[in-house]
Structure 1
Amino acid sequence: MSSKENIRSILQREADAILNIPITDEFDKAVALIVDKVHLKKGKLVTSGMGKAGQIAMNIATTFCSTGIPAVFLHPSEAQHGDLGVLQENDIMLVISNSGKTREILELLTLATRLRPDIQFIVITGNKDSELAQKANVCLFTGGPEEVCPLKLTPTTSTTMMTVIGDILVVSTMEATGFDCKQYALRHHGGYLGQLSRQQSLDKE
């Protein structure tokens, strides 16, 4: 297989995995929960994940912040050393683990519930039968695709699925809350996106 053929194969496998993400009512439930707890009741979204999943969780948090939903990333290990105190009334958690077996994440759910017994969890996982999935109030299943990594080990396709599901949540929440370019501009002072959003706001006046 040539280099170009290999690249095309990787792209096709990742694209197929995205198109095979199960579309269920769990997405609507997740968005409704975010809107209720954060947009209406003024809590915040707390995301978490370990390793590569943690990096995706951090990105999801920053994207939500820029689109009207206050969000922070909580490192599951640091949570055990005081950072768990970031949890407040009406907060919800979005936790990510491809295996659904990540020890630090399972411990985080236990500790979070101990501190905030009413807290609810949105879970993104590639294992819908895992312990983590069973603990979720809302479980978003990636479909559990095989990694494109030749060893079938390195988080590649799985992290793509996590990112795409995060995008679905962000865009769906923006639509549910009526988030517009004027509100976007208030959160983006600098850079090209700030300039573009301000111009779009002026054009609509």
Structure 2
Amino acid sequence: MQGGDFTINARKLHTTMYLEEMKQVLRQEADAVLNIPVGESYNDAIDLICKHVHERKGKLVTSGMGKAGQIALNIATTFSSTGTPSVFLHPSEAQHGDLGVLQSNDVMLLISNSGKTREILELVTLARNLYAQIPFIIITSNPESPLAEIADALLLTGNPEEVCALGLSPTTSTTVMTVIGDVLVVGTMRKIGFTRADYNKRHHGGYLGQKSKE
């Protein structure tokens, strides 16, 4: 075998191996999504959102720390663009005055993979000190965690293994959290009868704004 041919074949082999690894990542994440536990807790969560936001005219307040916080922010913006007023509250900034965004008729959606995140547990205490009866929707992997214990609606991730090569960095868990948020958004949209025209009033710019007019 010529040296050049060997190099080309080695590259093809490496490419095939890398592609198979990529496919395995996709399979693992897809399996995690398909194995999210689904039950009445989703209806409970959607009912809480509709009751507090659309009946009592409050808002959905989401929060999380680190990567979970980024997911919580995304969920808040998606809810807002689909007819359910929502804001993201950073758990640390809440301790420095931002807690003032919270109102008595709000509902909170808190995300913590472990269910033990210190800043989120502190946020629960702060929120309850302000409004003792405020309800909590919790997304977590740990049904035995302190956060799970205080949930009015508990949404479990199924505790999937991370696809991260070290098994540490939030990867699969954040994918699942995002999907759970999407389920809540879609369910709420259907319950409130949110239309294309309603969407256009809130998102009239860019490609999606143009598409919503069609």
Would you call these one fold, judging by a TM-score over 0.5?
yes
- Alignment partner of 2:110: what SS? strand
1:89-139 per-residue CA deviation (whole Å, 9 max, x = no partner) reads 210000000000100000000110010111000000011111110011111
- Alignment partner of 1:2: what SS? helix
Compute the TM-score of the two structures, normalised by the length of structure 2: 0.92
Q: Provide the aligned C-alpha RMSD in A.
A: 0.8
Q: Higher Cα Rg: structure 1 or 2?
A: 2
1:106 aligns with one of 106, 121, 131: 121
**Alignment size in residue pairs:** 199
Aligned twin of 2:170 = 155
Aligned twin of 2:32 = 17
| Aligned counterparts, 1:50-61, within 5 A | 50-61=65-76
CA distance in 1, matches of 2:45, 2:22: 34
Task: Give the Å deviation of 1:177.
Answer: 0.4
2:187 aligns with one of 172, 175, 187: 172
CA distance in 1, matches of 2:203, 2:69: 24
CA distance in 1, matches of 2:207, 2:97: 37
Aligned twin of 1:47 = 62
Aligned twin of 2:46 = 31
Compute the TM-score of the two structures, normalised by the length of structure 1: 0.96
Task: Give the Å deviation of 1:40.
Answer: 1.4
Q: Which amino acid aligns with 1:179?
A: F
CA distance in 2, matches of 1:107, 1:15: 33
CA distance in 1, matches of 2:19, 2:212: 38
Kindly report structure 1 stretches of 4+ aligned residues shifted beyond 4 Å: none
**Gaps spanning 5+ residues in structure 2: where?**
1-15
CA distance in 1, matches of 2:53, 2:204: 23
Q: Which amino acid aligns with 1:64?
A: F
Aligned twin of 2:22 = 7
